[in-house]
């Protein structure tokens, strides 16, 4: 397998954009990535699209060639990947495989989602399709509230620890010009937020956002994919033996570390999937950053930079764009000299899909 580098990155602002559609968002991100890589559309050999629910949100199907053509990439293989919130992380993984195997020398991966054109209740219904609609029959805040209660009951994780995650991510997002919600909050505000699904308040939940992100992959570049792994688990939360765990995250992290030849302790910073604050806390444990049950205290300690972008909580969560956006943010930090080894952790559903990517500067 060949080494694979990230030649170029691009993304849009994340937010609510009444005048932007799925194609225009993708066009902006892809054009920026191509310009950053100093390549032309004619040089691109394949297009990989991560998108969760474009047909439900926008009424448009057959999205890969629809988006590729708008980006000036017509005529090449164009494929859409759907794995809930991990859609573009999975698309990135498949694109990496193709370049590493020598099938292609230059590919584009784009993640995009247009969500804010639907009313809130309909957004909730669409997002619930990422769970098991026969067995769970709950919204995602309700599902992650069950996870949070289990973690609190077993390990003593507190509301204050979860709120600290929100405060920290809002602080980082305030400094990110691309973030959807650039707003500092206090611990008192986070604790006093409107309850969405007990014990989760408004400040424990990520945002409904529009946005896109894109990368150009090639067998060269100073920012390299050192390790990457995708794993899966049951879609239904019902029947899982341990609600305090996200086993697919642990398995994908172990595989990615092994490929990269590193240990959890070597990772200097990370962008993790904080769809809810409890998800970041459990990710700390599954990634091996702290012992099991100590994620709440670890997240509150800020011992390692986590979600300098603001995470999904403040940066925003255009579902299909999130995985590639995390890669873009890690690459940006590597380029800015904020570390030599970073990690992106992308989650689908309540843990049914996981992609962990270790990136380094060489």
Instruction: Give pLDDT tens digits for 223-249.
Output: 999 999 999 999 999 889 999 999 999
Are 306 and 281 found together in one domain?
A: yes
Are 93 and 36 found together in one domain?
A: yes
- In the prediction, which pLDDT does 327 show? 98
Are 228 and 344 found together in one domain?
A: yes
Residue 192 — very low, low, confident or very high, per pLDDT cuts 50/70/90?
Answer: very high
Are 308 and 214 found together in one domain?
A: no
Residue with tokens 């979860």: 162
Position 362 pLDDT exceeds 90: no
Q: Which of 218, 246, 267 is the last residue of a domain?
A: 218
Please report whether residue 187 resides in a domain: no
Q: Which of 218, 243, 277 is the last residue of a domain?
A: 218
Instruction: Give pLDDT tens digits for 268-301.
Output: 999 999 999 999 999 999 999 999 999 999 998 9
Position 59 pLDDT exceeds 90: yes
Q: Is this prediction's pTM over 0.75?
A: yes
Position 347 pLDDT exceeds 90: yes
Residue 18 CA to residue 117 CA, distance in Å, equals 7
Are 17 and 100 found together in one domain?
A: yes
Q: How many CB atoms neighbour CB 135 within 10 A?
A: 13
- In the prediction, which pLDDT does 137 show? 87
- In the prediction, which pLDDT does 239 show? 84
73: domain CATH number is 3.40.47.10
Q: How many domains does the chain fold into?
A: 2
- Using a 10 angstrom Cβ sphere, with 0-12 exposed, 13-18 middle and 19 or more buried, the burial of residue 189 is middle
Are 317 and 214 found together in one domain?
A: no
CB-CB contact of 10 with 28 (8 Å): yes
**Per the omega criterion (within 30 degrees of 0), is the bond before 199 cis?**
yes
Position 325 pLDDT exceeds 90: yes
Which alpha helices (DSSP H) does the chain contain, by range? 22-37, 54-58, 63-70, 87-100, 120-128, 140-155, 159-174, 187-191, 247-260, 277-286, 295-301, 311-314, 322-335
Are 309 and 213 found together in one domain?
A: no
Terminal CA-CA length for the chain: 17
Instruction: List, by residue number, the catalytic residues.
Output: 85, 317
Instruction: Give pLDDT tens digits for 89-143.
Output: 999 999 999 999 999 999 999 999 999 999 999 999 999 999 999 999 899 999 9
Please report whether residue 191 resides in a domain: no
Please report whether residue 277 resides in a domain: yes
Residue with tokens 């995650």: 165
**Residue 230 structural domain:** 223-361
Q: Which value, in Å, is the radius of gyration of the alpha carbons in the chain?
A: 19
- Using a 10 angstrom Cβ sphere, with 0-12 exposed, 13-18 middle and 19 or more buried, the burial of residue 259 is middle
Are 43 and 107 found together in one domain?
A: yes
Please report whether residue 204 resides in a domain: no
- In the prediction, which pLDDT does 254 show? 98
Please report whether residue 189 resides in a domain: no
Mean pLDDT, all residues of the chain: 97
Are 214 and 250 found together in one domain?
A: no
């Amino acid at each position: 397998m060949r080494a694979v580098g990230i030649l170029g990155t691009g993304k849009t602002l994340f937010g609510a954009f009444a005048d932007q559609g799925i194609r225009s968002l993708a066009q902006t991100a892809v054009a920026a990535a191509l310009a950053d890589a100093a390549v032309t559309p004619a040089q691109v050999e394949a297009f990989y699209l991560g998108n969760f629910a474009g047909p439900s949100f926008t009424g448009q199907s057959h999205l890969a060639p629809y988006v590729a053509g708008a980006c000036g990439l017509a005529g090449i293989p164009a494929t859409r990947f759907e794995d809930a919130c991990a859609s573009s992380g999975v698309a990135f993984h498949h694109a990496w495989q193709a370049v590493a195997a020598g099938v292609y020398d230059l590919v584009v991966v784009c993640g995009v989602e247009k969500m804010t054109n639907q009313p809130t209740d309909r957004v909730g219904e669409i997002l619930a399709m990422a769970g098991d609609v026969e067995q769970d029959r709950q919204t995602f805040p309700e599902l992650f509230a069950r996870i949070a209660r289990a973690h609190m009951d077993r390990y003593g994780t507190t509301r204050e620890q979860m709120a600290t995650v929100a405060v920290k991510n809002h602080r980082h997002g305030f400094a990110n010009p691309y973030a959807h919600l650039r707003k500092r909050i206090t611990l008192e505000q986070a604790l006093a937020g409107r309850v969405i699904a007990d014990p989760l308040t408004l400040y424990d939940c990520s945002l409904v956002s529009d946005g896109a992100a894109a990368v150009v992959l090639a067998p060269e570049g100073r920012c390299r994919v050192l390790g990457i792994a995708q794993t899966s688990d049951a879609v239904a939360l019902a029947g899982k033996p341990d609600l305090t765990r996200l086993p697919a995250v642990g398995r994908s992290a172990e595989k990615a570390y092994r490929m990269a030849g590193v240990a959890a302790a070597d990772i200097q910073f990370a962008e993790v999937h904080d769809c809810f604050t409890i998800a970041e806390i459990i990710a700390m444990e599954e990634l091996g950053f702290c012992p099991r049950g100590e994620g709440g205290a670890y997240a509150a300690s800020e011992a390692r930079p986590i979600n300098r972008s603001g995470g999904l909580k403040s940066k925003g969560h255009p579902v299909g764009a999130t995985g590639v956006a995390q890669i873009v943010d890690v690459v940006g930090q590597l380029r800015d000299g904020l570390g030599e080894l970073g990690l992106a952790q992308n989650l689908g559903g309540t843990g049914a899909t996981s992609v962990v990517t270790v990136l380094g500067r060489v």
